[in-house]
Structure 1
Amino acid sequence: MTRTPPIARPRLVNRLVNSARGPFAFPTSAVFFSLLIVGLATRILFIFSADHHMNSDHAVVYLMARHASEGQFSAFYWGQYYGGTLLQLTAGAAMTVFGKSIGVLAVVSVLYWSAAAVVLRLVVMRSIGRAAGDVAGIVFWFPGVFLFAQSTIDPGFYGPTLILGLTAVWIVLAMPFTQPWIGWVLLGAAVGLASWTSPMALAFAAPAVVVALVKHRDLRGWAMAGIAAVITALPWLLETIRSSFSSVKPIGGAGGIHIDSFASIFTDMLPTAFPLDRFELVRFAVAFSAVFCLGAVAYFGIRCHVVGAALIGIGSLLVVVVLVVGSGGRLAADSARYSTFLLPVLATAVAWWVTRYRWSQWLVIVLAPLITLGPLAQKSDLFHLSTAARFDPSLTKVADELSRSGHRAVYGDYWMAYAMTALIDERVTVAALVPRRFMPYEVTAAGAVDTVIVVYADQANDRLLQKHTEL
């Protein structure tokens, strides 16, 4: 008579195949790391090519990094009560070693994006499988020309937002660590930095925090996470109190928010960030696919108990809400840069679907780099290294004239002010008329012997000065 077999409780089996042979034992992983290097090298070539252009917004980030390298700390992007300065501080630290240049800032920005691609791969790999993780990382890393370029001209907190939100998700998936307190401290630190960095980073990380609190009921761990969060969020907390809570108020107010505000993200903003956006059919396809991907990742992540996917999906839904509430209205084509924050969920959705079949996953692995690098090679000469056209070339002549005439501090239109200041590395500082960003520039300009105002001909400020000659 045979013995009754022992009855064991069912348990979840790790989706990952034993990886004792290392990541390169899987063909898709070898391709991912190879393409990671290709994408990094291509971005660096692009940074120093004649097609790498920056405007005054991007120039502010560079000037902040310069000041950070000299020990001057700013909690937020100049003139704002949001937008943490992790990127600027990191780039400033790099500038103390490699010198003060826009190239250093741009490379640091790209490194944030590359780190986000790696962490997204880890999250999807733990949740869905290794091949899906590799595909998600590749799609994220090669998202089309617009977002490719965006990774080299980060407006200040986009890369840090991505890496912090994804890191919070990864920490929760990896818990418990060998030493439980490590996971709690890391999670608290990530959430605190996310709070400081941007509302989008906090929204993306929030679902992960909820899962950690529900799944691991450890009061001591909660306390350690809370302490770590408070410490890393101190810049945000102090500035919030000092500004009478301006950092938690919507920028545009809540009066213009309605259903169309949410729809505009998918119908107007998002399609602009992807190839062939001039065709109405393509715009419709992008809008429909984005809505489907966002909902599908959240829904099937919850239904199939795929925690990582569920956290990415729900976090992305919260990001959409934050974008609409924060802006206070519609998000049009000129806000396409915000598409950055939806890249993780779109890449996850694509990877989850195409890895059902081997042929489709390899098709996407081949197409993603081609769709990005093909048009880039068509419109750019990556091997023509020149930074002469990084800013509006006409600004160089104006800056040279100001230097020759002995002017060291002047006023100017916003879209030339910080660009010109960055172009000549603050040998002449230009204080913006509106919006006002950096008070020391204004103080210096106000104290100059002669008041000089530089404006674009026939634009609003020029017409205003012609009309009111007493100014």
Structure 2
Amino acid sequence: MRAVLRRVLGRWGTAPAAALVLAVALAAVIRLWVLHSPVGRMESDEAVTGVMAQRILDGELFAFFAGQTYMGSLEQYAQAAVLAVTPDTPTTLRMVQLALSVATCLLVGVTARRLTNSPWFGVAAAALFAVGPWFNVEKGIRSHGAYDTAQLLSVLGLLLVVNLSPRTRLAPWRAAAVGFVAGLALWESTLAIIALLPVVWWAIGVARHRLPHLLPPALIGAVLGAAPFIVHRIIHGPFPPSGSGEPPATTFADRTDLMLSPVLGMFLGVRHIGDGRPVSQFLPPAIATMIALGALGAGVWSRRRGIRDLVLLRAPGVHGVDPILVVLSLMVIPYGLTGFTWFAGTPRYLFALYPFAILAVIVAASHLGPRARLAVPVVLILGTAVLSASAANRALDEGGRGGWVGSARVYTEDIPAFVHRLERDGITGVHADYWLAYPIQYASEGALAVEPYGNSRFPNLDARVESTTPGAVAYAIPVGPEEVAIRDRLRAAGATARVIRVGRLVAFTDVDPATAVAAITTP
């Protein structure tokens, strides 16, 4: 252990190593604060992963996010391990995402040090990742399937290829590791696959004179990493239904236009998540976007020979930033080709690129003049921190995050007491809107069966609700205008119902006559 520590400190130096630890600790502290603030309020997509973890502990297996045939479930198996030894709470569930985000911060720092040959630029990269951009922070603590894993795999794959020396004794093991990461990416996330494609291509160029020696372990690693994906496709066919439904009809031009504005501004942290309004009046999003695209274009031009060598598999002329520039500059193509990028409320389909974007910026800064080399990273870190703080402050002013049922926010912090009351009153089956249903299901730890009105993820839970006697069924909704409308419809139908109110949640049960249930479930 001491020898390893001396070797690390020899590469980094004591002061930069300590600074890197502080940067990673800062990432953890910021994300813990978000997790425990109203901004980190759990919503239903996250609760789905919690239900998956609970059911994994009961012996059920998932290859992908529940109800889908894409986005692997590796994070949910890790969450199941955590829930096996801790209480089932929103915080404990998302400890896995916190750990992945912090680990990615460390890997970004280590990779930047390797690409710039400067430990202080490694510290700068880790610090920049720690403070933002804001969506990188907020999304990083969300349990949304495989987004954090996609980030980690992207930067880990790059670091492995940067360190791949084909003629060393460890080369076969490193090739196997590259293959394993690529295989995991195939299972876990299309976003990670897109990020890793030029990285893997570079690895082929690095190893091309030793391919007969290194390709077999790489393929074995890839098969092992992708094993759940492969087995699933063998059982269900190569192109099973995605499970996510059909997206709204949009064109390639529509989606690329949305990517450029407002999505790219949100990605950069200069637009607010959701409505896309500017975060700061002093930094117009259009200007920031043009600066970012101009810098990317300048980077591609300055590295054009390296990118050419990357394409032609001429490894000696390639720098580690070259595959990064290829991914960043060509991302608009896959973004425009898939219909699922129609949603412009968040830059979620760019989330995996945050490590690459930060590495590109830091590598560029390392090639500036002596004063600019220092000034640019400091200004970027401080500016990003200010923008993130502004975005967080607005989110807090708006009451934090969370799902919505109509115009009523779902306050998931009220759900444990609500579930306890339902159980005490003999309720075993619940109907609710999707954005309320699965938080109730997760909090009940299986004591209740909850069926959403749409977008069901667990058909066997729906069947349990349908087989429940009417007197043990409740219809849950947040307090708000929709609750008032339900009361009015029941009154108009001449029906009665027992009302259970806990905090900002309401449940209707014992509806009489039973046919009046339609007054609750039909707007």
* Letter of the structure 2 residue corresponding to residue 444 of structure 1: R
Match for residue 438 of structure 2 among 400, 414, 418? 418
* Letter of the structure 2 residue corresponding to residue 337 of structure 1: R
- What pairs up with 1:257-272 in 2 under 5 angstroms? 257-272=251-266
Given that 2:28 and 2:102 are in contact with CA atoms closer than 8 Å, whether structure 1 keeps it comes out as yes
Match for residue 353 of structure 1 among 364, 367, 383? 364
Query: Which residue matches 1:102?
Result: 90
Distance 1:132 1:138 in 2: 10
- CA shift, 1:391, in A, is 3.7
CA distance 1:252–1:74, change in 2 (3 Å):
same
What do residues 142-182 of structure 1 show as CA deviations (whole Å, max 9, x unaligned)? Answer: 11444322211131111100111211111111112532210
Query: Which residue matches 1:165?
Result: 154
Query: Which residue matches 1:292?
Result: 294
Q: Which moved more, 1:146-155 or 1:435-444?
A: 146-155
- CA shift, 1:201, in A, is 0.9
* Letter of the structure 1 residue corresponding to residue 342 of structure 2: R
Are residues 1:150 and 2:144 paired?
Answer: no
Q: Which moved more, 1:134-143 or 1:44-53?
A: 44-53
* Letter of the structure 1 residue corresponding to residue 157 of structure 2: A
Distance 2:232 2:330 in 1: 24
CA distance 1:26–1:313, change in 2 (3 Å):
farther
CA distance 1:118–1:351, change in 2 (3 Å):
same
- CA shift, 1:414, in A, is 0.7
- CA shift, 1:379, in A, is 6.8
Given that 2:154 and 2:352 are in contact with CA atoms closer than 8 Å, whether structure 1 keeps it comes out as no
Secondary structure of residue in 1 paired with 2:67: coil
Distance 2:35 2:325 in 1: 32
Structure 1 or 2: larger strand share? 2
Secondary structure of residue in 2 paired with 1:100: coil
Query: Which residue matches 2:506?
Result: none
Given that 1:268 and 1:331 are in contact with CA atoms closer than 8 Å, whether structure 2 keeps it comes out as no
* Letter of the structure 1 residue corresponding to residue 455 of structure 2: P
CA distance 1:254–1:425, change in 2 (3 Å):
closer
Match for residue 230 of structure 1 among 223, 226, 231? 223
* Letter of the structure 1 residue corresponding to residue 428 of structure 2: R
Given that 2:157 and 2:199 are in contact with CA atoms closer than 8 Å, whether structure 1 keeps it comes out as yes
Are residues 1:135 and 2:146 paired?
Answer: no
CA distance 1:200–1:142, change in 2 (3 Å):
same
* Letter of the structure 2 residue corresponding to residue 209 of structure 1: V
Distance 2:137 2:387 in 1: 11
Distance 2:288 2:186 in 1: 30
TM-score (norm 1): 0.82
Given that 1:191 and 1:229 are in contact with CA atoms closer than 8 Å, whether structure 2 keeps it comes out as yes
Query: Which residue matches 2:189?
Result: 198
Are residues 1:282 and 2:271 paired?
Answer: no
Match for residue 58 of structure 1 among 43, 46, 52? 46
- CA shift, 1:378, in A, is 8.5
What do residues 302-324 of structure 1 show as CA deviations (whole Å, max 9, x unaligned)? Answer: 43555321112223455544344
Secondary structure of residue in 1 paired with 2:230: helix
Q: Which moved more, 1:351-360 or 1:159-168?
A: 351-360
CA distance 1:396–1:66, change in 2 (3 Å):
closer
Are residues 1:372 and 2:384 paired?
Answer: no
Match for residue 174 of structure 2 among 174, 183, 190? 183
Distance 1:342 1:65 in 2: 27
Are residues 1:34 and 2:26 paired?
Answer: no
CA distance 1:141–1:470, change in 2 (3 Å):
closer
* Percent identity between the two aligned chains: 20
Secondary structure of residue in 2 paired with 1:77: coil
Match for residue 429 of structure 2 among 393, 404, 409? 409
* Letter of the structure 1 residue corresponding to residue 258 of structure 2: S
Distance 1:35 1:20 in 2: 16
TM-score (norm 2): 0.75
Given that 1:128 and 1:306 are in contact with CA atoms closer than 8 Å, whether structure 2 keeps it comes out as no
- What pairs up with 1:423-442 in 2 under 5 angstroms? 423-442=443-462
Distance 1:420 1:213 in 2: 49
Given that 1:251 and 1:328 are in contact with CA atoms closer than 8 Å, whether structure 2 keeps it comes out as no
Per chain length, whose mean CA-contact separation is higher, i.e. which structure has more relative contact order (CA < 8 Å, sep 6+)?
1
CA distance 1:139–1:266, change in 2 (3 Å):
farther
- CA shift, 1:252, in A, is 4.5
- CA shift, 1:120, in A, is 2.2
- CA shift, 1:80, in A, is 1.1
Secondary structure of residue in 2 paired with 1:97: coil
Stretches of structure 1 that go unaligned for 5 or more consecutive residues are: 1-17, 382-388
Distance 2:154 2:365 in 1: 24
CA distance 1:59–1:193, change in 2 (3 Å):
same
Given that 1:172 and 1:208 are in contact with CA atoms closer than 8 Å, whether structure 2 keeps it comes out as yes
Q: Which moved more, 1:282-291 or 1:166-175?
A: 282-291
- CA shift, 1:380, in A, is 5.8
Match for residue 12 of structure 2 among 17, 20, 23? 23
Secondary structure of residue in 2 paired with 1:427: coil
Given that 2:328 and 2:357 are in contact with CA atoms closer than 8 Å, whether structure 1 keeps it comes out as no
Distance 2:521 2:145 in 1: 38
- CA shift, 1:129, in A, is 3.3
What do residues 389-432 of structure 1 show as CA deviations (whole Å, max 9, x unaligned)? Answer: 99445656753553243121223211111012223333323122
* Letter of the structure 1 residue corresponding to residue 322 of structure 2: A
- What pairs up with 1:208-223 in 2 under 5 angstroms? 208-217=199-208, 218-223=211-216
- CA shift, 1:219, in A, is 1.8
* Letter of the structure 2 residue corresponding to residue 189 of structure 1: F
CA distance 1:419–1:300, change in 2 (3 Å):
farther
* Letter of the structure 1 residue corresponding to residue 130 of structure 2: W
CA distance 1:165–1:147, change in 2 (3 Å):
closer
Are residues 1:327 and 2:339 paired?
Answer: yes
- CA shift, 1:222, in A, is 1.0
Equivalent residues, number: 444
Given that 2:44 and 2:438 are in contact with CA atoms closer than 8 Å, whether structure 1 keeps it comes out as yes
Q: Which moved more, 1:289-298 or 1:214-223?
A: 289-298
Given that 1:44 and 1:107 are in contact with CA atoms closer than 8 Å, whether structure 2 keeps it comes out as no
Stretches of structure 2 that go unaligned for 5 or more consecutive residues are: 1-6, 307-316, 398-408, 490-515
